[in-house]
């Protein structure tokens, strides 16, 4: 009888340890580590000068000289081209002659006005003495007013001729095409001897880039990514002309003018680039990455662990899904670190830090109590002993998706927020308005953070725990909550042959 008991006990020990080893070998795992999470958005665009000026002509005429060429550096006021001025010079001579003629007529009208004024004054005195007829007085007055009108008309004609001549002088000055800015000539659209016709709009003669030491890129960003792009973010880009060199820029503007092409909505994003060495050229195609987020030295898990779900044939993993999914066990840990991170950005005074430390310690104590209660409940549900002796190994697995529906999650967040407000009431009472706003915003972000289950390999078994997700770079995702550095996250299950070979080893 004693031998049977010994054999049974040895069999139970072998099943416990060898079975755990087999289960551990049945999973592919990757350790949770610390590192940087860099989130970027890829896009393409074209380099151009920040300010490009089109130089045209306001007048028509024959180009007699073009004094600059492509890539010529020009300064403000420098002569770029000349238009034949002969027509406008002749018009000025004609205008001056007309002004002189009008001035001569004015003198004649002024002499007539002076004589008519004397005649009227003399007839007016005689009329008072009734020595001349009243009609003679009226006739003299009319003659005086007529002479006055002619003199006024001559003066207006002079002003008109002067204005016309001034316009011609302006057009004469416009026969000299000057650069409006300091810059570099990008294009030259005319040749000497060409006739410029400026009838309805100014023809383009030159295109000048104002300053190539500062350039811009216009990127097109998809509507699904535009919400992450903000002014001031760093941009890394390459150009095919210099494949072995990487350049940097800064987002200067996110424009609201959306463009729809084949039902795809994109938004233009302007990036400012420093080109002090003159390497970059206008028109180069750019392959850019906008760095929308960089989280240094954070806990991160492989994205494969977030995609892993245990199969129906994996009772060990399914049986572990209960406690952790309800927020107990490992899933309830880690919140204190997130709260401390929020508080670290508030620039707390010593008395405020003391109040926070007291509240954080109380929260940690209550969290440990809830964790212990959850572990006890889990142990009671799983039962004790082994099947060899008739005991259960955990009972039937729980059903359900663990995360609950949206309404349950909202209720859970509301209860958690109320609990934080109660536990940190004394601390928040010491904050000023600015600190309180930052605290509330950080707490809201923490409550609204995305959560997902992952499976950890603990004592050879798969244990389900809920984690809060942060930024992701496509390969790894920032996590916080019931995990720590070095935990083994399950990324998949090995095949039966691989598991068998692992157990033999």
Split at pLDDT 50, 70, 90, the class of 83 is very high
DSSP state of 390: T
Q: How high is the pLDDT of residue 396?
A: 38
User: For all residues of the chain together, what is the average pLDDT?
Assistant: 80
SS3 call for 203? coil
CATH, range 40-49+209-297: 2.40.30.170
Point out which residues pair with 70 in neighbouring strands: none
Q: How high is the pLDDT of residue 172?
A: 92
Q: Rounded to a whole number, what is the distance in angstroms from the first to the last CA of the chain?
A: 35
pLDDT digits over 404-454, tens only? Answer: 466 776 777 777 777 777 788 888 888 888 888 888 888 887 777 788 888
Mean pLDDT of 453-470: 86
Q: How high is the pLDDT of residue 496?
A: 52
Name the token pair of 210: 């104002």
503 pLDDT higher than 60: no
Domain regions of the chain by residue span: 40-49+209-297, 58-188
User: Are the C-beta atoms of residues 94 and 135 closer than 8 Å to each other?
Assistant: no
Percent of the chain whose pLDDT exceeds 90: 30
Query: How many angstroms separate the CA atoms of 366 and 372, rounded?
Result: 10
Residue bearing tokens 């024959």: 62
Q: How high is the pLDDT of residue 380?
A: 66
The dihedral through the CA atoms of 110, 115, 120, 125 has a sign that is positive
Neighbours of 343 (CB within 10 A): 23
SS3 call for 99? helix
Split at pLDDT 50, 70, 90, the class of 268 is very high
Residue bearing tokens 């770079």: 473
Point out which residues pair with 286 in neighbouring strands: 45, 239
6 pLDDT higher than 50: no
CA angle 431, 435, 438 (to 5 degrees): 135
pLDDT digits over 325-372, tens only? Answer: 333 344 444 567 777 878 888 888 888 888 888 888 888 887 777 777
Neighbours of 262 (CB within 10 A): 4
Q: How high is the pLDDT of residue 312?
A: 58
User: Are the C-beta atoms of residues 205 and 189 closer than 8 Å to each other?
Assistant: yes
Q: How high is the pLDDT of residue 397?
A: 41
Neighbours of 463 (CB within 10 A): 23
Query: How many angstroms separate the CA atoms of 207 and 184, rounded?
Result: 8
Point out which residues pair with 184 in neighbouring strands: 73, 209
Name the token pair of 78: 């420098």
User: Are the C-beta atoms of residues 271 and 255 closer than 8 Å to each other?
Assistant: no
User: Are the C-beta atoms of residues 319 and 86 closer than 8 Å to each other?
Assistant: no
pLDDT digits over 192-212, tens only? Answer: 999 888 876 778 899 999 888
Supply the angle between the helices 350-382 and 335-344 in degrees, to the nearest 10.
170
Supply the angle between the helices 496-504 and 2-25 in degrees, to the nearest 10.
120
Mean pLDDT of 157-172: 91
Comparing 22-26, 111-115, 184-188, 318-322, which segment has the lowest mean pLDDT?
Answer: 318-322
Q: Which of 333, 405, 389, 392 is nearest to 363 (CA)?
A: 333
2 pLDDT higher than 70: no
Point out which residues pair with 427 in neighbouring strands: none
């Amino acid at each position: 009888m004693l031998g049977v008991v010994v054999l049974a006990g040895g069999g139970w020990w072998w099943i416990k340890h060898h079975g755990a080893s087999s289960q551990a070998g049945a999973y592919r795992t990757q350790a949770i580590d610390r590192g940087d999470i860099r989130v970027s958005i890829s896009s393409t665009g074209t380099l151009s000068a920040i300010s490009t000026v089109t130089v045209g002509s306001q007048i028509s005429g024959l180009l007699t000289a073009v004094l600059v060429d492509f890539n010529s550096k020009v300064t403000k006021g420098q002569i770029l081209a000349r238009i034949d001025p002969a027509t406008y010079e002749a018009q000025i001579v004609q205008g001056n002659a007309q002004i002189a003629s009008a001035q001569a007529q004015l003198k004649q009208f002024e002499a007539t006005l002076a004589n008519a004024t004397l005649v009227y004054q003399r007839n007016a005195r005689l009329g008072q003495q009734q020595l001349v007829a009243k009609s003679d007085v009226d006739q003299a007055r009319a003659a005086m007013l007529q002479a006055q009108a002619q003199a006024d008309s001559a003066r207006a004609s002079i002003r008109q001729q002067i204005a016309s001549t001034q316009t011609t002088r302006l057009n004469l000055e416009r026969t000299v095409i000057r650069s409006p800015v300091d810059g570099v000539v990008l294009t030259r659209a005319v040749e000497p001897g060409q006739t410029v016709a400026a009838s309805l709009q100014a023809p383009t003669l030159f295109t000048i880039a104002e300053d190539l030491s500062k350039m811009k890129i216009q990127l097109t960003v998809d509507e699904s990514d535009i919400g992450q792009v903000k002014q001031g973010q760093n941009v890394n880009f390459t150009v095919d002309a210099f494949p072995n060199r990487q350049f940097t820029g800064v987002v200067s503007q996110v424009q609201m003018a959306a463009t729809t092409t084949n039902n795809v909505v994109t938004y233009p994003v302007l990036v400012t680039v420093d080109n002090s060495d003159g390497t970059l050229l206008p028109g180069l195609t750019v392959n850019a990455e906008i760095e929308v987020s960089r989280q240094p030295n954070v806990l991160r898990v492989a994205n494969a662990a977030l995609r892993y779900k245990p199969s129906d044939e994996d009772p060990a993993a399914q049986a572990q899904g209960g406690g952790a999914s309800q927020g107990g066990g490992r899933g309830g840990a880690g919140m204190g670190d997130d709260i401390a991170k929020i508080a670290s950005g508030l620039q707390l005074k010593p008395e405020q830090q003391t109040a926070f430390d007291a509240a954080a310690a109380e929260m940690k104590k209550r969290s440990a109590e809830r964790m212990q209660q959850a572990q006890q409940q889990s142990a009671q549900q799983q039962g004790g002993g082994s099947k060899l002796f008739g005991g259960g190994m955990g009972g039937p697995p729980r059903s359900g998706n663990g995360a609950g529906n949206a309404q349950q999650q909202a209720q859970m967040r509301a209860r958690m927020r109320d609990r934080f407000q109660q536990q940190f009431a004394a601390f928040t009472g010491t904050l000023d308005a600015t600190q309180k706003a930052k605290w509330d915003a950080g707490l809201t972000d923490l409550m609204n953070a995305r959560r997902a289950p992952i499976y950890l390999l603990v004592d050879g078994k798969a244990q389900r725990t809920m984690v809060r997700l942060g930024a992701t770079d496509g390969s790894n995702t920032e996590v916080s909550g019931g995990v720590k550095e070095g935990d083994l996250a399950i990324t998949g299950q090995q095949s039966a042959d691989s598991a068998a070979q692992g157990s033999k080893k």
